[in-house]
Each structure stands twice: as C-alpha cells, then as structure tokens.
Structure 1
Amino acid sequence: MENRPDIFSEATDKKRKNLKTMLGRYLSSPIPETTVKIKLNGQNYETISDELGYFSEWLYPPKPIDPGWHPVYFSICDEEGKEQCVKQGEFLIVRSDPQFGVISDIDDTVLVSHATQMLRKIRLILTKNAKTRLPFEGVAYFYRQLAANGNPLFYVSSSEWNLYDFLADFFSIRNIPKGPFLLQEYKSGIRDLLFSGGGSHQHKIEKIERLMNLYPDLSFILIGDSGQRDPEIYQKAVDKFPGRVKAVYIRKIGKKDEFEEKTIQYFREKGVELLMMETTEEAVNHARKLRYI
C-alpha cells in the first residue's frame, strides 16, 4: 500500500480522529506488480504482487513446521533492489487431529455492526474504533471454548481488506481467538467506504469452499447471522460438502418472521443441526449438549 497512514487507536480518541483514520484506510492505494520478498524460518522466497497489489504464494520449507502460529516477514524493494518497509505477519499450521474447524462471519455475528441498517452502520464505522466497538455478549467465551484443543477458527467476512488492522486489533482487545481472516477485495474511495461490507456476498461461499477443499478430512461448524444471506450461503456449503458440516449457528438479526421455516426444514432434512439464536448463551448450551465444547 502507499499513502496509508500508520494507525494507532485509543479508547479516548475523538470522533474526528476516528473519521480521519477510517478515511485513511479507504484513500490509500495498492502497489501493483512489485517484487515482494518473504523470509520464513531463515529461508528466503520471492513473489510479485498482481495488478491490484495482492500477492499469494505456496511455500515449501525444507523442514516440517510444528502446528500453531508462526512469524513470517515481508518486504518490498526499491528500484535498486534494496529491501524497504519490512513487516511481520503470522501464519497458521493446523494440527493433524482437530475435532473440527469453525468458519465464522464477523459483522453482526461477532461484531455489533447493524449491517442491515445503513445509517447506524455508517455512524459506527466513522465514529468508533477497534477499542470502542463492541462484540456480542458471550462471543469471546464461546469461541475460546470452540477453539480448545487446537480446533482452528477461520473468519470469512464481507468486510474489505482495508479493515484488516481494525479487525486484528478488535479481536485482540476483546480476547476473541485469532484465526485467518478471509475478507473481500480491497476497495478504494469514499463511496466504497460508505457501502463497506456490501455486495452479493458470493465471495463467502468461494472462500468456504477453498477452506473445505484445503482440509478435506476436517468437518466444520458454521456461524453467521440472518442479515447478510449467511443461511443461504451455508446451504450451498452443505450441498457441496455432504457430511462435512456438523452444525450451523445463525444469530437472529431483524424481525423474527424474516427467517423462513423452509430453510430450517432444509437443514433438518440434510441431518445438520441448525440453531437460530438470539443470544450467544443459547449457542453455548447447544454446543455443550452436543459435546462440541
């Protein structure tokens, strides 16, 4: 990225600073087609960012890496080939024998976002920061229980990559177990900021399929909400990967009669546990009953 400010948020930050910070996330630009150096366990690798500034690379270290989180270092080079802008990231190696994996949405599932109410959503985005935004009650406890014994968590969201630092900060502050974020394509501009998290949400099913193909022997628990087509998306996952979905938890957003009975019946016929929850405590009790926690 270029023109992207360093971002440090505090709970005492004024609305004006929060607004300026959020604008900075959406007014910076990707750097296309540039060499990216990767350093992992003392080994050096290279790749090139695409026309949108993304890079993706499979690495094959000479020695196996233990399960868990590990550091990795990235840098780009100037015209003379000198390293600059060195950044540390993390990557996850999933253990070989987890009980299950968890794929969770973020907005209105973990993070109170009011995604279906445009004005309330924009007000939260523009005036709050990672230290003042709120999770749903009980989420941190529930997810820590699900992640026990090395069960991996993955977060698939319609939030854009612009918000990665915000989400990482929020999860850390609220003690919610970390997991790889699979977000929507980076966007740039005021309009994209105002319509953050929108779109068809088709990318969600693509990323869920990617995860389930990457771990073909792993079954999953899916967690989402009724506000952004998660039930429909999770139906597609159940159809494409029969027997791989252990349970689906949907946080009820909006009016109670908005969720169709036929959808509930659909999951039941597929042999998948579906819980429509109004509180996280309901999900905790349900998961405990089925010995997922």
Structure 2
Amino acid sequence: MKNFIAFLIFFVSLSSQAQTLFVSDVDDTIKLANVKDLSEAARYAFDDKSRFLGMNALYHHIVKENSDIRVVYLSKAPEWFMGRTHRNFLKNGNYPAGTYIGKTEYDSDVHKITNLRKLMEEHRPRKVILIGDNGEQDADIYAQLAQEYANQGIEFHQFIRIVYNRNSFVEWGAALHNGQTGFVTPLEISFELEKAHILSYSAVETLVKTLVPDFVYASSYAAEGDVAFPYFVNCQTFVWKWDDSLQRFDTMKQLKLKLTDRCRLKM
C-alpha cells in the first residue's frame, strides 16, 4: 500500500510537469490597451474584442505542435478590475485554453516575477516561451527569470512586442535585453520558433499564407476589432532581421515594405 501511494505521488508530480511552459501577457501584447495613455486605456479597459491580428492563430500552432505544453496568460492588471474582461477577451478571440492569472495578493512590482517562479517550480519545463510588450516591465522581468535559471539547461525564448517608442526625450518603451526578440507581427515570432524547432515549416508556411495578405492590405492606423497596426503603436525602434524569409516566401517582401513604411524603419 505504501509503495502504491508513493508511486501515485510520483505519478501526480510528473503529470504536473510540462516539457514547454508558454506564458503570454495580455494588455498591449495580444489585446489592444494603450496603457501609456490613461484616457485611451480607459477606453479599452472593458473592450473584450479588440485584438492584435494573428496572435491567436500563432498561439494555436504553438499548442498544436507541442503536446506537452502548459499555457498561462499572466497579467499585471488587478483581478477584480480586469479579470472578467480578460477572460471574455480570450474566449471571444479564440485563444488556446490556458490558466489566467491576474494580480491579487502581490504588489504590482513583484506579481509577475513571483508567479513566474511558482510556475517554473511547479512545471519544471525544459523550454520556456515568454511573450510580452515593451509598455511596462515585461522585458526586465523575463530577462530576470532567464538569468535566475541560466545554469539549469532550460531554453528561454523571449519575445517583446514593440508598441511604444524609445527616444532621448520620452522613453515610453522599455529597452530590450540580450536574448530578446522585438516583434510587430506574429510572423517574426514564428520564424524564431521554427529555428528553435518549436514550430514546423508547415506551420510557418500556413501562417505566412493566411496572415501576410491581411497585414499588407490592412489600415496602418486602426482602432477596433482585429487590428494589424493600432493607431497608437510607435514601432520605430523595431529591428528587422528576417531577410532569409524573403527568399522562402515571396509575399514576405510586401510585408517588409509595409513594416518599413508603418514603422518608419531605416533599412
């Protein structure tokens, strides 16, 4: 009996572990929020439909191709204030099922890092995918987590959406750390995850075929719905580094031109 109980405990502990831990922020990462402008943030606070184009499709491909994965939506927003809106948003936007964690008992400054540490200890993953934005502390927190587990043989893949500009006058956008990839569309993430053997060529090809035309012909300054380029996004500090994709997918040339124009990139 004791041996059976010990085996059962061991089995349960193994079942709670995940090969891949996938953590995504919500506001300004997948949901339109404009958190740096208080009046505009209030406008989007209870909007449970307006989202960044294509992120749900990317997330579904990640989950489909990595069966042993845990999906977590980790938000700094107070649970009592935004919890219902965020859960409705994830449902309305057809995002993969996962655990939603809003801010409850911890202060804003430690909420995310504390919960990330708990998730790491609970699931003991071999790979970690972290997706956030440069509006608040995601870049710093993700870099801190990767540093804390640097000697444990864990792969960290960190992606930061470039939403706010960073210049010498007003540094609204957080700086990225070494090992982090800035992105404007989900395609950039897909290329990096393909290199890491987390996404297949087939998945990337599907995303390119279905999403690139939508981005190329989308409004450069939209405000509601399924939005490619929200009006408030300033992506001048975005760095394009996927010229190899131009050789593999003809339509990517059009997307690069669109991003160059919308973000005012210097190529």
**Residue number in structure 2 paired with 1:157:** 75
**Deviation readout 1:91-119 (Å, 9 max, x if unpaired):** xx995775411111111011111011111
1:146 and 1:110 mapped to 2: Cα distance?
Answer: 15
CA gap of 1:97–1:229, structure 2 versus 1, over 3 A, is: closer
Q: Is the 8 A contact 1:140 1:175 kept in 2?
A: yes
Pair 1:247 & 2:183 matched: no
Give the CA deviation at 1:245.
4.1
2:98 and 2:44 mapped to 1: Cα distance?
Answer: 24
Give the CA deviation at 1:276.
0.5
Corresponding residue to 1:146 among 55, 59, 62: 62
CA gap of 1:156–1:290, structure 2 versus 1, over 3 A, is: same
Higher relative CO (CA 8 A, sep ≥ 6), structure 1 or 2? 2
- Alignment coverage as a number of residue pairs: 184
* TM-score, with length taken from structure 2: 0.60
Give the CA deviation at 1:212.
0.4
**Residue number in structure 2 paired with 1:175:** 94
**Residue number in structure 1 paired with 2:243:** none
**Residue number in structure 2 paired with 1:203:** 111
Of all paired residues, the percent bearing the same amino acid is 21
Where 2:74 maps in the other structure, the secondary structure is strand
**Residue number in structure 1 paired with 2:127:** 219
2:133 and 2:26 mapped to 1: Cα distance?
Answer: 9
Give the CA deviation at 1:248.
0.2
Structure 2: tracts of 5 or more residues without a match: 200-267
Pair 1:108 & 2:28 matched: yes
**Residue number in structure 2 paired with 1:78:** none
CA gap of 1:169–1:151, structure 2 versus 1, over 3 A, is: same
CA gap of 1:256–1:140, structure 2 versus 1, over 3 A, is: same
Letter in 2 for 1:109: T
Letter in 1 for 2:73: Y
**Residue number in structure 2 paired with 1:288:** 194
Q: Is the 8 A contact 2:24 2:131 kept in 1?
A: yes
Pair 1:236 & 2:144 matched: yes
Letter in 2 for 1:244: I
Q: Is the 8 A contact 2:60 2:96 kept in 1?
A: yes
2:100 and 2:190 mapped to 1: Cα distance?
Answer: 23
Q: Is the 8 A contact 1:95 1:150 kept in 2?
A: no
Give the CA deviation at 1:290.
2.2
Letter in 2 for 1:123: R
CA gap of 1:161–1:94, structure 2 versus 1, over 3 A, is: farther
Give the CA deviation at 1:204.
0.5
Q: Is the 8 A contact 2:33 2:44 kept in 1?
A: yes
Give the CA deviation at 1:178.
1.9
Q: Is the 8 A contact 1:103 1:154 kept in 2?
A: yes
Structure 1: tracts of 5 or more residues without a match: 1-59, 68-92, 187-198
CA gap of 1:276–1:284, structure 2 versus 1, over 3 A, is: same
2:15 and 2:133 mapped to 1: Cα distance?
Answer: 28
1:260 and 1:165 mapped to 2: Cα distance?
Answer: 28
Give the CA deviation at 1:219.
2.6
1:185 and 1:97 mapped to 2: Cα distance?
Answer: 24
**Deviation readout 1:213-235 (Å, 9 max, x if unpaired):** 11224431111101011111112
Higher strand share: 1
Decide which structure has the larger Cα Rg and report it. Answer: 1
Give the CA deviation at 1:124.
1.8
**Deviation readout 1:29-70 (Å, 9 max, x if unpaired):** xxxxxxxxxxxxxxxxxxxxxxxxxxxxxxx9xx89x99xxx
Summarize the alignment of residues 184-203 of structure 1 with structure 2, pairs less than 5 Å apart. 184-185=103-104, 200-203=108-111
